[in-house]
Structure 1
Amino acid sequence: MIRNLFAAALFAALAAGLLTAAIQHFRVTPLILHAETFEGEGGHSHGEAAVVADHEHAPGTAEHSHADAAASTAAEPEEWAPQDGFERTAYTTLATVLAAAGFALVIGAISMFANIPITFANGLLWGAAGFITFSLAPAYGLAPELPGMPAADLFARQLWWVGTAIATGAAFVLLAKTRASWAIAVSVALIAAPHIIGAPVAPDEPSAVPAHLATEFAAITLGTSAVFWAVLGTLFGRLNDLFAARSAATPIGAIA
């Protein structure tokens, strides 16, 4: 069972990751490159943006973060960054696929330990829960950011993102296991708690990035994340069903 779950997770992650990378290449990356032209203007030169889903993380992420070198002083060497074009696309695609594998293994582990199978019938629900947990709920407090936009302390943002994902995910698992009134109340409290505490607030600094560009980036990033999770959950469930049926049809002791 574990072998089937692992294989289904990796194959689903590869497909979802490649599809997401393609969408990013045509819809997300151009916005990042456009925003980079404004870096250094308006008194702000912080260069970090979410690429997958949204999400700013440690993956993610999933939205995983797309980091670019900030302007360096003459006394300090410049940070390495992939060159625009094929190199940048290749590294982004690799990071996206690896993030997809990480997310797939996470939901696979949750499925196994919570004893909630991922099937074709409920795969889309798993995907929806993943999207809300790792993308939508964190983005409610920390919207995806383009290079050149003011941002709060990185560690504080990562800590809040992880706490929000854990609390939201725990609420979904609890609701999947029981619909008792106490469980619903606890789930609502878990989902609301990070937002009551509040996400780290970005400094009030000027930014040269146009507001419409930031809005478009946030919308496309969340839309891309929704596609990613829908494909990952549905394909994961379908492959899990196929591998389970194949194992059941293979006689004990036979080579699969």
Structure 2
Amino acid sequence: MIRNLFAAALFAALAAGLLTAAIQHFRVTPLILHAETFEGEGGHSHAEGTAEHSHDDAAATTEAEPEEWAPQDGFERTAYTTLATVLAAAGFALVIGAVSMFANIPITFANGLLWGAAGFIAFSLAPAYGLAPELPGMPAAEVFPRQLWWAGTALATGGALLLLAKTRASWAIALAVALIVIPHIIGAPVAPDEPSAVPAHLATEFAAVTLGTSAVFWALLGAIFGRLNDLFAARSATTPLGATA
């Protein structure tokens, strides 16, 4: 059973990851590239002499410090993005596979979309309520506090959904509601109040497209995972004990 679950998770991750990477290439990446054209544009005003001095200092600093590596636009960037998407899909698939096994709630084609919806709510929608997807050039809080809040929100929301899947008792519903609400009462780290050259409509479109792409990813992952799990389980059931599948 574990071998079948592991194989189904990896194949589902590969399929969902590649399909999602294709959507990202045509819908998400162009928005990121557009936002990158606004990087470096500040909203501060300076006196002429001060501005000239600051630009000289910035140029000297740029010459002294080596630039961080980044993939080149085009095929290299697309390849790295696709690889990252597939690896993330594999990680998420293994997580929900492990939860399925320990909770004794099999992932099937019949409930695959429900697993996908739960993953989307826990890992995308709930964290995005406090930390909306951000474009390059937008002000953001420190990375570690954001990661910590995101992980806590995902775990709390996922735990609430799992609790509701196991029981509908009144105490379980109350606890689930508390788990979902508490991270948002605590609040996500607040971004610094700094000007950004990124247009508001571009940021809004990016958040919507990112969440939409995430919803498609989770629907694909849940449905494909469930279908493969059914196929592998049926094949194991028809294979005689000790025979090579």
TM-score by length of 1: 0.88
Give me the whole-angstrom Cα distance separating, in 2, the residues matched to 1:173 and 1:74. Answer: 53
Matched, 1:25 2:25: yes
**Which structure ranks higher in relative contact order (CA pairs < 8 Å, sequence separation ≥ 6)?**
2
Which amino acid in the other structure matches residue 117 of structure 2? A
Report what 1:240 is aligned to. 229
CA offset at residue 36 of structure 1?
0.2
> For 1:127-174, what per-residue CA distance to the aligned partner results, in whole angstroms no more than 9, with x for missing partners?
000000000000000000000000001100000000000000000111
Identity rate of aligned residues, in percent? 90
How many pairs were matched up?
230
Letter in 2 for 1:37: T
Quote the residue 1:16 is aligned against: 16
Question: Secondary structure, in 3 states, of the residue corresponding to 1:73?
Answer: helix
Q: Deviations over 1:64-87 (max 9, x none)?
A: xxxxxxx97332111100000000
SS, match of residue 99 in structure 1: helix
Report the AA paired with residue 4 of structure 1: N
Q: Secondary structure at the match of 1:226?
A: helix
Structure 2 counterparts to residues 146-157 of structure 1, below 5 A: 146-157=135-146
Q: Distance in 1 between matches of 2:16 and 2:160?
A: 25
CA distance in 1, matches of 2:126, 2:197: 27
- Equivalent position of 1:80 in the other structure: 69
Give the match for residue 213 of structure 2.
224
Indicate the RMSD between aligned Cα atoms, in angstroms. 1.2
TM-score, normalization by structure 2: 0.92
Question: Whole-Å Cα distance in 1 between the matches of residues 43 and 178 of structure 2?
Answer: 40
DSSP 3-state at the match of 1:150: coil
Structure 1 ranges of 4+ moved more than 6 A? none
- The 5-angstrom pairing of residues 108-123 of structure 1 reads 108-123=97-112
Matches within 5 A, 1:1-256: 1-42=1-42, 73-256=62-245
Using the alignment, how far apart are the partners of 2:37 and 2:240 within structure 1?
62
Answer 1 or 2: which has greater helix percent.
Answer: 2
Structure 2 stretches of 5 or more lacking a match? 45-58
Gaps of 5+ in 1: 45-70
Q: CA deviation at 1:43?
A: 5.1
- Whichever of the two has the greater Rg, that structure is 2
Structure 2 distance, partners of 1:41, 1:138, is: 29
Q: Deviations over 1:71-118 (max 9, x none)?
A: 973321111000000000000000000000000000000000111110
Q: Give the letter aligned to residue 99 of structure 2.
A: I
